[in-house]
Amino acid sequence: VRGEGGHLLNPRTGHRFMPDIDPRAELAPRDVVARAIDAEIKRDGLDYVHLDISHQTPEFVKHHFPNIYEKLIGLGIDMTKEPIPVVPAQHYTCGGILIGLDARTDLPGLWAAGECTESGLHGANRLASNSLLECFVFGEAAAHHIARHWDALPPVPPIRGWDESRVTDSDEEVVIKQNWTEIRRFMWNYVGIVRTTKRLERAAHRIANLAKEIEDYYGSFRVTTDLIELRNLHQCADLIVRSALKRHESRGLHYTLDYPDTDPVAKDTVLVP
Protein backbone atom coordinates (compact mmCIF):
# COMPACT_ATOMS: atom_id res chain seq x y z
CA VAL A 1 0.00 0.00 0.00
CA ARG A 2 2.93 2.33 0.75
CA GLY A 3 4.38 1.55 -2.66
CA GLU A 4 1.17 2.66 -4.39
CA GLY A 5 0.93 6.03 -2.66
CA GLY A 6 -0.34 5.26 0.84
CA HIS A 7 0.39 7.91 3.50
CA LEU A 8 1.47 7.15 7.06
CA LEU A 9 -0.36 9.41 9.51
CA ASN A 10 -0.32 10.03 13.23
CA PRO A 11 -3.87 8.96 14.24
CA ARG A 12 -4.02 11.58 16.98
CA THR A 13 -2.92 14.62 14.95
CA GLY A 14 -3.44 13.46 11.36
CA HIS A 15 0.13 14.57 10.58
CA ARG A 16 1.92 12.76 7.75
CA PHE A 17 5.27 12.12 9.45
CA MET A 18 7.44 10.25 6.92
CA PRO A 19 8.44 13.37 4.89
CA ASP A 20 9.94 14.70 8.15
CA ILE A 21 12.14 11.59 8.43
CA ASP A 22 13.33 10.85 4.90
CA PRO A 23 13.07 12.65 1.52
CA ARG A 24 11.67 9.43 0.03
CA ALA A 25 8.80 9.61 2.56
CA GLU A 26 6.77 6.37 2.61
CA LEU A 27 9.02 4.88 -0.10
CA ALA A 28 12.06 4.88 2.21
CA PRO A 29 13.58 1.44 2.99
CA ARG A 30 11.49 -0.67 5.31
CA ASP A 31 13.93 -0.38 8.24
CA VAL A 32 13.71 3.42 8.08
CA VAL A 33 9.91 3.31 7.91
CA ALA A 34 9.67 0.75 10.73
CA ARG A 35 11.85 2.87 13.04
CA ALA A 36 9.83 5.99 12.20
CA ILE A 37 6.55 4.24 13.03
CA ASP A 38 8.05 2.82 16.22
CA ALA A 39 9.26 6.27 17.29
CA GLU A 40 5.85 7.82 16.55
CA ILE A 41 4.07 5.14 18.59
CA LYS A 42 6.43 5.40 21.56
CA ARG A 43 6.53 9.20 21.62
CA ASP A 44 2.75 9.66 21.68
CA GLY A 45 1.80 6.44 23.49
CA LEU A 46 -0.09 5.08 20.49
CA ASP A 47 -1.18 1.53 19.74
CA TYR A 48 -0.70 2.02 15.99
CA VAL A 49 -0.38 4.59 13.21
CA HIS A 50 -2.66 5.04 10.21
CA LEU A 51 -1.89 4.01 6.64
CA ASP A 52 -4.21 6.00 4.40
CA ILE A 53 -4.80 5.43 0.70
CA SER A 54 -8.34 6.84 0.58
CA HIS A 55 -7.09 9.69 -1.66
CA GLN A 56 -6.93 7.14 -4.51
CA THR A 57 -10.14 6.14 -6.30
CA PRO A 58 -12.06 3.12 -4.96
CA GLU A 59 -11.51 1.39 -8.31
CA PHE A 60 -7.73 1.85 -8.01
CA VAL A 61 -7.65 0.50 -4.46
CA LYS A 62 -9.82 -2.55 -5.19
CA HIS A 63 -7.85 -3.38 -8.34
CA HIS A 64 -4.42 -3.14 -6.70
CA PHE A 65 -5.29 -4.64 -3.30
CA PRO A 66 -8.25 -7.02 -3.71
CA ASN A 67 -7.17 -9.38 -0.91
CA ILE A 68 -6.32 -6.63 1.57
CA TYR A 69 -9.58 -4.87 0.74
CA GLU A 70 -11.66 -8.00 1.37
CA LYS A 71 -9.81 -8.82 4.57
CA LEU A 72 -10.31 -5.32 5.96
CA ILE A 73 -14.00 -5.28 4.99
CA GLY A 74 -14.36 -8.41 7.10
CA LEU A 75 -12.82 -6.46 9.99
CA GLY A 76 -15.16 -3.52 9.49
CA ILE A 77 -12.65 -1.22 7.76
CA ASP A 78 -13.26 0.19 4.27
CA MET A 79 -9.80 1.22 3.07
CA THR A 80 -11.31 3.21 0.20
CA LYS A 81 -12.82 5.59 2.76
CA GLU A 82 -10.81 5.28 5.98
CA PRO A 83 -7.23 4.64 7.09
CA ILE A 84 -5.78 1.27 8.09
CA PRO A 85 -4.30 0.84 11.60
CA VAL A 86 -0.75 -0.55 11.20
CA VAL A 87 2.25 -1.49 13.35
CA PRO A 88 5.59 -3.00 12.28
CA ALA A 89 5.94 -6.75 12.78
CA GLN A 90 8.56 -9.41 12.06
CA HIS A 91 7.60 -11.62 9.12
CA TYR A 92 10.88 -12.73 7.55
CA THR A 93 14.25 -13.90 8.86
CA CYS A 94 17.25 -12.12 7.33
CA GLY A 95 19.75 -14.91 7.76
CA GLY A 96 19.75 -18.67 8.01
CA ILE A 97 21.58 -21.69 6.62
CA LEU A 98 24.52 -20.60 4.47
CA ILE A 99 24.16 -21.84 0.86
CA GLY A 100 25.95 -21.43 -2.45
CA LEU A 101 24.53 -20.61 -5.88
CA ASP A 102 23.57 -24.26 -6.34
CA ALA A 103 21.67 -24.24 -2.99
CA ARG A 104 24.17 -26.61 -1.37
CA THR A 105 24.82 -26.33 2.35
CA ASP A 106 28.09 -27.36 4.03
CA LEU A 107 26.45 -30.65 5.05
CA PRO A 108 26.92 -33.23 2.25
CA GLY A 109 23.61 -34.33 0.80
CA LEU A 110 21.63 -31.36 2.12
CA TRP A 111 20.31 -28.54 -0.06
CA ALA A 112 18.17 -25.65 1.16
CA ALA A 113 16.04 -22.90 -0.37
CA GLY A 114 13.80 -20.10 0.83
CA GLU A 115 13.51 -18.24 4.10
CA CYS A 116 15.53 -20.82 6.05
CA THR A 117 18.68 -19.82 4.12
CA GLU A 118 21.29 -17.10 3.94
CA SER A 119 21.63 -16.90 0.17
CA GLY A 120 23.09 -13.39 0.01
CA LEU A 121 20.30 -12.12 -2.24
CA HIS A 122 18.46 -9.97 0.26
CA GLY A 123 21.25 -8.39 2.27
CA ALA A 124 20.62 -6.94 5.72
CA ASN A 125 17.17 -5.59 4.92
CA ARG A 126 15.53 -7.94 2.40
CA LEU A 127 15.33 -5.37 -0.38
CA ALA A 128 14.66 -7.86 -3.19
CA SER A 129 10.88 -7.55 -2.99
CA ASN A 130 8.96 -10.83 -3.16
CA SER A 131 10.85 -13.52 -1.25
CA LEU A 132 8.88 -16.26 -3.02
CA LEU A 133 11.07 -15.72 -6.08
CA GLU A 134 14.05 -16.97 -4.08
CA CYS A 135 12.27 -20.29 -3.51
CA PHE A 136 11.77 -20.73 -7.25
CA VAL A 137 15.34 -19.77 -8.17
CA PHE A 138 17.13 -21.88 -5.59
CA GLY A 139 14.62 -24.72 -5.72
CA GLU A 140 15.40 -25.12 -9.42
CA ALA A 141 19.14 -24.70 -8.80
CA ALA A 142 19.04 -27.44 -6.17
CA ALA A 143 17.10 -29.79 -8.46
CA HIS A 144 19.57 -29.34 -11.33
CA HIS A 145 22.58 -29.84 -9.07
CA ILE A 146 21.11 -32.95 -7.45
CA ALA A 147 20.24 -34.43 -10.85
CA ARG A 148 23.77 -33.82 -12.18
CA HIS A 149 25.45 -35.38 -9.14
CA TRP A 150 22.90 -38.06 -8.27
CA ASP A 151 25.24 -41.01 -8.85
CA ALA A 152 27.91 -39.49 -6.62
CA LEU A 153 25.61 -38.92 -3.65
CA PRO A 154 26.47 -41.03 -0.60
CA PRO A 155 23.95 -43.69 0.42
CA VAL A 156 21.39 -42.71 3.02
CA PRO A 157 22.70 -43.79 6.43
CA PRO A 158 20.57 -46.22 8.44
CA ILE A 159 18.15 -44.47 10.76
CA ARG A 160 17.08 -46.12 13.98
CA GLY A 161 13.40 -46.53 14.64
CA TRP A 162 11.79 -43.83 16.75
CA ASP A 163 11.68 -45.03 20.37
CA GLU A 164 8.98 -43.53 22.58
CA SER A 165 9.07 -46.26 25.22
CA ARG A 166 10.67 -44.02 27.85
CA VAL A 167 8.49 -40.94 27.42
CA THR A 168 4.86 -40.11 28.11
CA ASP A 169 2.31 -37.63 26.86
CA SER A 170 2.84 -34.21 28.35
CA ASP A 171 0.77 -33.36 31.38
CA GLU A 172 1.88 -29.72 31.28
CA GLU A 173 1.08 -28.30 27.83
CA VAL A 174 0.82 -24.91 29.53
CA VAL A 175 4.63 -24.95 29.83
CA ILE A 176 5.00 -24.90 26.05
CA LYS A 177 2.52 -22.05 25.68
CA GLN A 178 4.16 -20.09 28.50
CA ASN A 179 7.68 -20.48 27.06
CA TRP A 180 6.47 -19.65 23.57
CA THR A 181 4.74 -16.48 24.79
CA GLU A 182 7.75 -15.51 26.91
CA ILE A 183 10.18 -15.79 23.98
CA ARG A 184 7.93 -13.79 21.68
CA ARG A 185 7.45 -11.09 24.29
CA PHE A 186 11.09 -10.52 25.25
CA MET A 187 12.26 -10.79 21.63
CA TRP A 188 9.83 -7.99 20.69
CA ASN A 189 10.73 -5.83 23.69
CA TYR A 190 14.51 -6.37 23.73
CA VAL A 191 15.45 -7.48 20.19
CA GLY A 192 12.91 -5.50 18.20
CA ILE A 193 13.13 -2.49 15.93
CA VAL A 194 15.52 -0.44 18.09
CA ARG A 195 18.13 -2.37 20.07
CA THR A 196 20.71 -1.64 22.78
CA THR A 197 23.47 -3.81 24.21
CA LYS A 198 21.72 -3.90 27.58
CA ARG A 199 18.45 -5.07 26.03
CA LEU A 200 20.24 -7.74 24.01
CA GLU A 201 22.05 -8.97 27.13
CA ARG A 202 18.73 -9.19 28.97
CA ALA A 203 17.32 -11.27 26.13
CA ALA A 204 20.42 -13.52 26.14
CA HIS A 205 19.98 -14.07 29.89
CA ARG A 206 16.36 -15.15 29.44
CA ILE A 207 17.25 -17.42 26.52
CA ALA A 208 19.87 -19.14 28.69
CA ASN A 209 17.35 -19.61 31.49
CA LEU A 210 14.88 -21.28 29.14
CA ALA A 211 17.40 -23.61 27.48
CA LYS A 212 17.53 -26.35 30.13
CA GLU A 213 13.79 -26.17 30.78
CA ILE A 214 12.99 -26.72 27.11
CA GLU A 215 15.57 -29.51 26.67
CA ASP A 216 14.34 -31.32 29.82
CA TYR A 217 10.78 -31.11 28.51
CA TYR A 218 11.93 -32.34 25.07
CA GLY A 219 13.63 -35.37 26.62
CA SER A 220 10.81 -36.31 28.99
CA PHE A 221 7.64 -36.16 26.91
CA ARG A 222 6.34 -37.39 23.58
CA VAL A 223 7.35 -35.04 20.78
CA THR A 224 4.63 -32.81 19.34
CA THR A 225 4.63 -30.18 16.62
CA ASP A 226 4.30 -27.43 19.22
CA LEU A 227 7.27 -28.76 21.19
CA ILE A 228 9.47 -28.97 18.09
CA GLU A 229 8.47 -25.45 17.08
CA LEU A 230 9.22 -24.16 20.59
CA ARG A 231 12.69 -25.72 20.42
CA ASN A 232 13.28 -24.19 16.99
CA LEU A 233 11.96 -20.83 18.18
CA HIS A 234 14.37 -20.84 21.11
CA GLN A 235 17.32 -21.79 18.90
CA CYS A 236 16.47 -19.10 16.36
CA ALA A 237 16.15 -16.48 19.11
CA ASP A 238 19.54 -17.50 20.49
CA LEU A 239 21.24 -17.13 17.09
CA ILE A 240 19.62 -13.73 16.45
CA VAL A 241 20.71 -12.34 19.83
CA ARG A 242 24.26 -13.74 19.62
CA SER A 243 24.64 -12.33 16.12
CA ALA A 244 23.31 -8.92 17.18
CA LEU A 245 25.69 -8.75 20.16
CA LYS A 246 28.68 -9.50 17.92
CA ARG A 247 27.76 -6.78 15.40
CA HIS A 248 29.07 -3.48 16.77
CA GLU A 249 27.39 -1.34 14.13
CA SER A 250 23.94 -0.64 12.70
CA ARG A 251 23.21 -2.29 9.35
CA GLY A 252 19.89 -2.86 7.64
CA LEU A 253 17.24 -3.96 10.10
CA HIS A 254 19.85 -4.31 12.89
CA TYR A 255 19.73 -0.85 14.48
CA THR A 256 21.36 -0.33 17.86
CA LEU A 257 21.55 2.92 19.80
CA ASP A 258 25.00 1.95 21.13
CA TYR A 259 26.47 1.64 17.62
CA PRO A 260 24.28 3.82 15.35
CA ASP A 261 26.79 4.11 12.47
CA THR A 262 27.48 1.58 9.72
CA ASP A 263 31.03 0.25 9.33
CA PRO A 264 32.61 0.98 5.92
CA VAL A 265 33.24 -2.74 5.34
CA ALA A 266 30.58 -5.31 6.18
CA LYS A 267 31.62 -8.23 8.35
CA ASP A 268 30.07 -11.67 8.12
CA THR A 269 28.43 -13.10 11.22
CA VAL A 270 28.42 -16.87 10.85
CA LEU A 271 27.28 -18.76 13.95
CA VAL A 272 26.31 -22.33 14.71
CA PRO A 273 23.62 -23.47 17.18
Q: Which residues are catalytic?
A: 30
Q: Which of 245, 266, 272 is nearest to 120 (CA)?
A: 266
Q: How far apart are CA 79 and CA 7, in angstroms?
A: 12
